[in-house]
Amino acid sequence: MSHTTDTPAVTVFPPSLGPAELNPHRLHTPGGITTKRELRVDFTKGDWTSPASERDLCSMVREAITQYEDIDAVYLKECSPPEKEPNPNIWMVFDGIQPTHLEMTAGWDEECNHSGLEVVSPPWPLKSMYYSSYFGPGSWEAPEGPLPTFPACYAGLETLVLHHVESRSLYYYPRGGATSLRSLTVVGNDAIGTFAHTVDCNQKMLSTLRSATIYPLTCWLSDVHIEDFPIMKMFLSRSEALTHLELAILDNGFDLLPDDEDEGETPNLSDYLPYLGLYDHFPSSLISLSFRGPLNIHMFKDLDKWIDKANDPLWLPDLCRFAFNMVSYRYNQKEVEAEVERAQIDGKIAELQNAMKRHRPALEIEEPRPLDELVYPRSIS
């Protein structure tokens, strides 16, 4: 962890706005809404483990809180777990403020001290949260069942972004279960597993979740567990409230396929490649759908079934916005060029878009959002 002094450890300022590529520090608020005042605590600006340094940091936080009464967003940079730095007592200096948005990022140990929020009084009325950390306190395979990963004080979140998390130890499962989550964004690493574990632990999300964004990191797809795929698909099929769905599954995932000698018959590819056959699981409640898949022969062949679905006017009848693309990355470019030409892909996508428009005259055809924008949650009505 670096210890620099070019900027203060504690700063208060209006949140940064503007395009993500121009301002990587803008808050991950729903739809980019502007908060009144952001309190930012940067734990990389010193060693806060000694009693004296802890008192200094607490003094700086108290001074900021006293000076600004309209703080409604808190950003804790590299906030480590309680057995390391910062000391959990530091949380108590936040007593009195009432932020609705919280952002936390992990330090060198890749874990956050999110349990410290339990000691804050009165409890924060959090509505949205961005959480970037790898490890968590949970265990998906615990003998007694999945373990909670967040204290109950996080159960009322409405918007959550999980970034770069490890799906077996960190998923959204507040003690007692989520009660109000309306928007879930999972980006990086095994995002499919994290999403699957989250929805499997929180049955109320079937009736509360309105927006979902899932974007696994390409090089991690080969490390996912295929038993998580049907959990994700079942949730999508059974969802009662989902209106906005955004998927970016770009890794071929060929390492997930069984070896020929291990299979006595041809495997069902959609059981192993999560981007295949998803059209059979989209809920009819969708009004916005964005899909970005890998450019390979399996996805190309699957486009015919997408087109068949698009020609059925009863499939996604209320859809208002539709985005679809297939992307090739440099690591599989030669393989793609040997299988199918880009012109063929573009022709199939155009056929799909035309079929969607033909049966849904009011439908708007869009481009998928840039990948670096997916970590910023969209507004939900």
What's the chain's Rg over C-alpha atoms? Answer: 22
Task: Please state, in angstroms and rounded to a whole number, the distance separating the CA atoms of residues 227 and 196.
Answer: 10
Give me the mean pLDDT over the 137-164 stretch.
94
* Residues 282, 289 contacting (CB under 8 angstroms): yes
Task: Please state, in angstroms and rounded to a whole number, the distance separating the CA atoms of residues 352 and 43.
Answer: 50
Give me the mean pLDDT over the 244-268 stretch.
75
Confidence band for 87, pLDDT divided at 50, 70 and 90: low
pLDDT greater than 50 at residue 2: no
Residue 111's CB is within 10 A of a number of other CB atoms, namely: 21
Q: What is the pTM of this model?
A: 0.91
pLDDT greater than 60 at residue 3: no
Residue with more model confidence, 118 or 357: 357
Instruction: Kindly tell me the burial class for residue 330, based on how many C-beta atoms sit within 10 Å of its own C-beta (0-12, 13-18, 19 or more).
Output: exposed
pLDDT greater than 90 at residue 329: no
Give me the mean pLDDT over the 343-363 stretch.
94
Task: Please state, in angstroms and rounded to a whole number, the distance separating the CA atoms of residues 154 and 206.
Answer: 18
pLDDT greater than 60 at residue 36: yes
Tokens 């910023």 belong to residue: 376
pLDDT greater than 60 at residue 338: no
pLDDT greater than 60 at residue 4: no
DSSP state for residue 131 in the 8-state scheme = E
What are the residues whose beta carbons fall under 8 Å from the beta carbon of 282, sequence distance 6 or more? 236, 245, 289, 315, 316
Tokens 């809180």 belong to residue: 65
Average pLDDT, the chain: 87
What are the residues whose beta carbons fall under 8 Å from the beta carbon of 228, sequence distance 6 or more? 167, 190, 192, 193, 196, 197
Confidence band for 340, pLDDT divided at 50, 70 and 90: confident
CA atoms within 13 A on the CB side of 252: 16
Percent of the chain whose predicted confidence (pLDDT) is above 70: 86
Two tokens at 8? 């203060």
* Residues 250, 329 contacting (CB under 8 angstroms): yes
